[in-house]
Amino acid sequence: MKNTLRSILMMLVIAALVAACSPATEEPVEPAPVEEAAPEVEEAPAVEEAAEVEEAPSEPVEIAFWYPYGEGSWTGDFLAGKIESFNAEKPDIIVTGQSYESYTAIIEGLQRAAAGENLPGVASIGFGFDEYIVSSDLAASYNELLGDEAEAYLGDFFPALTAVTTFDGETYGVPLALSVAEIFYHSDLFEQAGLDPDNPPTTWAGFLEAARTINTELGIYGATFALDDPWIFETTVRSNGGAFLTEEGPQLNSDVASAALTDWGTGVADGSILYNADFFETLQSFGAQQVAMFATSSYGTLIYAEIAPLVRAMPWPAAEGETAQIPAGGNSLYVFGNSDAERAAAAELVLYLTSPEANAEWAMNSGYLPTRNSSLETMGDFISGFDNYQIAIDAIDNVVPPTQFGTQTLQANQYLMEAIEKVMLGAGTADEVLAEANQSIVELLAE
């Protein structure tokens, strides 16, 4: 939200929404122009000036770049194009892109690559897996790679994001993509249900009430959640005043978490909430207007603007008296490599991909948000009048580091997802399943 930015989301959103909301079209989205970066921002430092590297090899250095975006998606094609242009500009480096289906697949691939001493030069690591990666001792520190230039370069990124990838004063991941949790809704369905589309609910209780009203008035589901990982549930809990992990240990069985999951289960039971563990099927249900509100990633903002202008976005509804706390979604670029030469080449690629201009272009065409202050400054004309995107931009102030369980993150997430599924299917109460999951994670962390 972590998780889970999605390699073929653009194609599936179009497939789902075109059938229900607009005529089919084969016209690609035209990339938005990139304005000149703010003049006062210095260019990213050249890695040759800052890094101590081995003697230049006689042959080009070859590195791989792993990312979770498929071929044919705008994000995948964008990165492929950047790799091609980088290779043309840097004849002494050859970068090969490799697409993976998910962040988890990248993590698993790194485990295998480490065993075979065949690590990629760069990999996109989803927010939330950072402790796991850094504790593996596979990733290189940008402070060491960039030397004296590191502070100026890293200081331009949003602090809430670099806080996720910084450990013991060393930054290991450079934020590439940012998404926030928000709620998309069909404004026409709001009107049909007697709700005001210009004034969507602002509190968690108001959100649940709107879902029940839609179900009662229209006979469809009022709301649904992206549940391919725990990101949306964590956003709910933390925005309602709870936490997954404190200094006392895991808190999945807190009163706040239990109440939130009970709300979800009650909604499924009374028909106001649609439960589907398959993200893409959920996406299609929303596109077909079988459900009015979809709690998910801001990643789809640009796609909805193109083909479903009646789909609008609302900020995440926090509990009364609370402020939304949105765990960072998206990913950062980590440098790995199998030699100093590969790591130096990988650092050059990261600087190229995260320049202020490239980061702004990425944000204006992918649906992600920029990760640099200088990139955001160049996007004024693009954001002006684009209400859905502005709502996502405003939420950056509410971004917090996601909960991480170190090397046990994958297994801990599995325990949590199993608990959510049991409640949504009526196979247990929130108190019971969260207490069980919490104890399992306590024991897991003690191993």
Q: pLDDT of 316-368, one tens digit each?
A: 999 999 999 999 999 999 999 999 999 999 999 999 999 999 999 999 988 89
Say yes or no: 139 and 106 in one domain.
Answer: yes
Instruction: Report which secondary-structure segment, H or E, holds 122.
Output: strand 122-126
Contact 308, 21 (CB under 8 A): yes
Say yes or no: 252 and 117 in one domain.
Answer: no
Say yes or no: 313 and 233 in one domain.
Answer: yes
Packing angle of the helix pair 255-270, 231-239 (nearest 10 deg) = 120
22 pLDDT higher than 60: no
19 is a domain residue: no
Predicted pLDDT at 40:
43
4 is a domain residue: no
Say yes or no: 35 and 49 in one domain.
Answer: yes
Say yes or no: 127 and 169 in one domain.
Answer: yes
58 is a domain residue: yes
434 is a domain residue: yes
Beta bridge partners of 399: 326
Mean pLDDT of all residues in 107-126:
94
Predicted pLDDT at 36:
40
Say yes or no: 137 and 240 in one domain.
Answer: no
Predicted pLDDT at 270:
97
The mean pLDDT of the chain is: 88
| All residues at 6 or more sequence positions from 208 whose CB lies less than 8 Å from its CB, including other chains | 223, 263, 267, 272
Predicted pLDDT at 369:
96
Say yes or no: 255 and 353 in one domain.
Answer: no
Instruction: Report which secondary-structure segment, H or E, holds 173.
Output: strand 173-179
Contact 184, 311 (CB under 8 A): yes
Q: How far apart are CA 213 and CA 200, in angstroms?
A: 13
Question: Taking CA 202 as the corner, what is the angle to CA 200 and CA 206, rounded to the nearest 5 degrees?
Answer: 85
Q: pLDDT of 251-271, one tens digit each?
A: 999 999 999 999 999 999 999
Say yes or no: 186 and 269 in one domain.
Answer: yes
Q: pLDDT of 363-413, one tens digit each?
A: 998 889 999 999 999 999 999 999 999 999 999 999 999 999 988 888 999
Say yes or no: 256 and 137 in one domain.
Answer: no
Say yes or no: 391 and 333 in one domain.
Answer: yes
Least confident stretch, 38-47, 130-139, 306-315, 329-338: 38-47
Predicted pLDDT at 174:
98
Predicted pLDDT at 41:
40
24 is a domain residue: no
Structural domains counted in the chain: 2
Say yes or no: 74 and 174 in one domain.
Answer: yes
Least confident stretch, 53-57, 409-413, 430-434: 53-57
Domain that includes residue 339, residue range? 31-179+328-400
CA 142 centroid distance within chain: 22
